[in-house]
Amino acid sequence: MKIELIDFDLKGDERGSLIAIEANKNIPFDIKRVYYIFATKLNVVRGKHAHKKLKQVAVTVHGSCKILLDDGQEQKEITLNSPNLGLVIREMIWREMYDFSEDCVLLVLASEGYDENDYIRVHEEFMELVEK
Ligand code: T46
């Protein structure tokens, strides 16, 4: 599985840093929704699902966490610990997020609005679909 990481261009000067995110420029889709995950409790595993259509980019704008990606054949663990780095999570990829630092703010840019019908929440179902 190819891991797609976006290295955001850092606009830094003597005042500090700025990163600009733009749909179809440094993000490979139209951004229809933005959400962020924070104040995650110790030892919590979030995610544990795949999406049928949704594409996303995840950025730890503060702190760190780990993300496991599973395409049905291979699993890879990515540590996100920089606001400079965006992880692309495409459709039909099982994801789990864990080892959140106390101060982690995980920003997620999504290609579609929220749709519960787009979620695959059972791993066996996900495996059946990817094997088809
Ligand atoms: C994903 C990973 C990376 C909404 O009402 N609107 C939203 O846009 C989202 C994302 C969630 N919700 C509600 C649904 C649940 O009642 O917020 C609650 C927590 O959502 P969930 O349990 O799905 O959160 P995670 O962290 O397990 O998964 C989320 C995204 O849902 C998912 O698409 O890929 O982050």
Q: Counting atoms of ligand 1 from 1, which one is nearest the CA of 46?
A: 27
For 55-88, the pLDDT digits (tens) are 999 999 999 999 999 999 999 999 999 999 999 9
* CA 109–ligand 1 middle distance (angstroms): 12
pTM score over 0.95: yes
Task: Name 65's bridge partners.
Answer: 80
Which residue out of 49, 51, 62, 123 is catalytically annotated? 49
| DSSP letters for 25-49 | TTBSS---EEEEEESPPTT--EEEE
Q: Counting atoms of ligand 1 from 1, which one is nearest the CA of 37?
A: 26
Helix (H, G, I), strand (E, B) or coil at 72: coil
Query: Is 49 one of the catalytic residues?
Result: yes
For 12-64, the pLDDT digits (tens) are 999 999 999 999 999 999 999 999 999 999 999 999 999 999 999 999 999 99
